[in-house]
Structure formats: C-alpha cells, structure tokens
Amino acid sequence: MQAAEYDLMAQVEERHWWFRARLSVVRSVLRAYVPQGRGLDCSCGTGMTLRHLPQWVQTGADLSPLALAHCRQSGLKQVLRASLTQLPLVDAGFDLVTCLDTLEHIEDDQAALAQVYRVLKPGGFALFTVPAHPFLFSGHDRALHHVRRYRKTELRQKVKQAGFTLRRYSYINCALFPAVAAVRLARPDKGLTNSDTERVPFAPLNALLYLNFALERLPLRLINLPWGVSLLCLASKPGA
C-alpha cells in the first residue's frame, strides 16, 4: 500500500461502518471466550484494534513503516515492523494473536499460521477474519492487494493443519451478503481497482450499514451464521 492509502485508512476507519462493525463483532467474541491478557495484533495497520481493544492486544506488528508511523502518531508505541511469516518474537509469548483481514494478503498463509501458533502460549487463542467466497473476488480485493478470498472449508483445513483447535467458526456480515454479492457480480469491474471502504457513506446510510453488521454480535452468542461476506475463526493452541 502507498502512503496515501494509509493516510486514507487513518482518516476513515474510525467512522466507516465496516471497520466499526467488525470491531464490535470481534469485541463481543473476545468478551465471550478470551480472558484479558498479553496480546499481539498482526498487520495492525494504523492501529484501530490496538486503540479499542487494549485489554486483549497491546503490541502491534506490521510490515509497513507507513502504517507504524500512523500508530506512533496516535500514541501507540508498542509496535514493530515484521512480516507475519517471520515474526521476530519469542515462542509462546502471547495469550492472544489477532489477524483481522490479514491472511488474504499473504501468499504463504500456512507459514503465517505456523508463526501465529509458535508465538502463542499453550492454551492461547488466535482470532482470524478473512474475506469469504472466491467468486466475489473483485476490484475491491485488487485495491486492497488481496491474494485470495477463502472458501469455508479451505480456512478450516488450514487452521487445523497448523495445529489449532477451532472454538468458533462462522460467516459474518451476513445480512448484507445478498446485496454485496449482487453488486460484485453485476459490476463489470475486472479492470478496476476501487475499494468499497475508501470513503465513508453519507451518515444515515453509514449508520444503517453499521447496525446491519454490528448487531450480528447478538445471534453469534448462540449460533454460527449460515452465510456472509467474511469468515470469523476463533481457534486455540492445545495445552495448559
């Protein structure tokens, strides 16, 4: 990503419905399953997760010095430059590792999962979110430098292969899936590279979209959702 893209992310993520709603869903899952402790946010970007979930994640890692500069400018000092496939961190050092919309950027996602497993304490948790359904791959994904979108069976298999035990596994962004699928399939954007999250919609629409996604935290307390634009996977490292 270029400097302008990180500047844009820093400007919109605190207000944009998608970032805020994903954070709400993630916070709800962490409250239900994961004790507060020492945590690492991989591909921390400009630091939204670190700012809002300090009970669970205090250290951020990102490959981009531009992203880390934004973190430091907002007062986040415990950040380091690192690739998720080669984390310069000790074994078994964290109670939680979050990888929110991260794995889809990495060619060797199995190596990334191995690193997450390595730096987790026995009994520790990993929380992943990824975009779902390869048939939805579009200009939005190209703009965000995605390598892939995941099939549900694919992510499950890779997480288990890395040694994790699945604790929760569900689609998210369920209510908006029909509309997103219709737009992505109907729009002839094979040559375009526009992200759907590069600008904040006008306020009433932004609020409505936020509620449609964020309120999924309520049914997710009881059930896994049957479809969605993304996947959420909470896994644990055996032991302890």
- CA–CA distance, 50 with 41 (Å, rounded to integer): 7
- CA–CA distance, 32 with 168 (Å, rounded to integer): 11
Task: Give tens-digit pLDDT for 95-107.
Answer: 999 999 999 999 9
Tell me the average pLDDT of the chain: 92
Smallest Cα–Cα separation from 128: which of 115, 139, 140, 141? 115
pLDDT at 207: 97
pLDDT at 193: 55
For the cut 60, the answer to whether the pLDDT of residue 192 exceeds it is no
pLDDT at 4: 59
Q: For the domain covering 3-236, report its CATH number.
A: 3.40.50.150
- CA–CA distance, 162 with 233 (Å, rounded to integer): 13
pLDDT at 191: 47
Task: Give tens-digit pLDDT for 22-45.
Answer: 999 999 999 999 999 999 999 999
pTM: 0.93
DSSP-derived secondary structure letter, 82: -
pLDDT at 97: 98
Determine contact, residues 126/116, Cβ cutoff 8 Å: yes
Q: Which one has a higher pLDDT value, 62 or 196?
A: 62
- CA–CA distance, 26 with 11 (Å, rounded to integer): 21
- pLDDT tier at 125 (50, 70, 90 boundaries)? very high
Task: Give tens-digit pLDDT for 137-187.
Answer: 988 888 888 999 999 999 999 999 999 999 999 999 999 999 999 988 886
- CA–CA distance, 21 with 23 (Å, rounded to integer): 5
- Domain spans of the chain? 3-236
The torsion angles phi and psi of 145, rounded to 5 degrees, stand at 60, 40
Smallest Cα–Cα separation from 238: which of 157, 124, 91? 124
